[in-house]
Amino acid sequence: MKNLKFQEHLNRVLLDFSPDQHLLIVSKTRTLDEIRAYYDIGHRHFGENRVQELLLKSNELKVSCPEIKWHMIGHLQSNKVKDLFKVHHLESIHSVDSIHLLDELIKNEHRLNQAVGIFLQFNTSREEEKSGFETIEELELAITRLKNCQHLYLQGLMTMGALRVDDQMKSAEACFRELAEVKAELDQKWDLDLQLSMGMSQDYKIALAEGANWLRLGTMMFDISGD
């Protein structure tokens, strides 16, 4: 019964997605049973924003969800990198927000035995409390750093819409459009095909329209009692 509800909801959400757009279900604060409910109906990509919670959940679900793919989406402190790399089935890191953090990841990549995708977080909203790269030049420095890695590879760019603005939707649109422009510029100059990680529950339809490849959806995937 419960799975049917999740299945119907998932199907409805995915109706708007094109083949190169992927749903990342953000399972932070959610229970193992809630994660398993989506896993059991075939969903594989899940995101967490804290290393300890991610590590714990990846351990707990290692046996019952062998095909799960974990994404780290939250701010990452350099001193948590070693723990992050212990996560089973770590697929990618969406929140690489500085050269300093990137260097720490590279320094520790020998601990990995699988490929892990890196998304460089770009601060399109320019809000001070948001972290992230702020110029194309900084992103290019990161791109060159990633060229010689063994396990880490450049997967794409990530951003978040502004929070403290009058018209959040209009602002989200501007942020997502800017990220798409940055992608176009870097793709051309460096011969890349960067993926875009953008869009949360409240603004994901805008992100879909602006060419997002990874939609990070939490609240709307779990608080579904109303529909």
Ligand X SMILES: *Cc1c(COP(=O)(O)O)cnc(C)c1O
| Nearest residue (CB) to ligand X, 49 versus 195 | 49
- Minimum CB distance to ligand X, residue 123 (Å): 13
| Nearest residue (CB) to ligand X, 53 versus 138 | 53
What is the full DSSP assignment across the chain? -HHHHHHHHHHHHHTT--TT-EEEEE-TT--HHHHHHHHHTT--EEEES-HHHHHHHHHHTTTT-TT-EEEE-S---GGGHHHHTTSTTEEEEEEE--HHHHHHHHHTGGG-SS-EEEEEEB-SS--TTS-SB-SHHHHHHHHHHHTT-SSEEEEEEE----SSSS-HHHHHHHHHHHHHHHHHHHHHHHT---EEE---TTTHHHHHHTT-SEEEE-HHHH--TT-
Site size toward ligand X (CB under 6 A) is 12
Is 30 one of the binding residues for ligand X (CB under 6 A)? no
**Quick check: 81 and 184 in contact, CB under 8 A?**
no
Is 215 one of the binding residues for ligand X (CB under 6 A)? no
| Nearest residue (CB) to ligand X, 122 versus 137 | 122
Residue of 10, 23, 25, 26 interacting with ligand X (CB under 6 A): 26
Is 93 one of the binding residues for ligand X (CB under 6 A)? no
- Minimum CB distance to ligand X, residue 100 (Å): 19
Residue of 78, 123, 168, 201 interacting with ligand X (CB under 6 A): 201
Record the tokens describing residue 133, joined without a space: 């790269």
Residue of 21, 27, 49, 171 interacting with ligand X (CB under 6 A): 49
- Minimum CB distance to ligand X, residue 217 (Å): 5
Is 217 one of the binding residues for ligand X (CB under 6 A)? yes
Q: Determine the interface stretch with ligand X among 2-10, 112-120, 144-152, 218-226 (rule: CB under 6 A).
A: 218-226
Residue of 25, 73, 116, 208 interacting with ligand X (CB under 6 A): 73
Rg of the chain over all Cα atoms, to the nearest angstrom: 17
Which residues contact ligand X by CB under 6 A? 26, 28, 49, 73-74, 200-201, 216-220
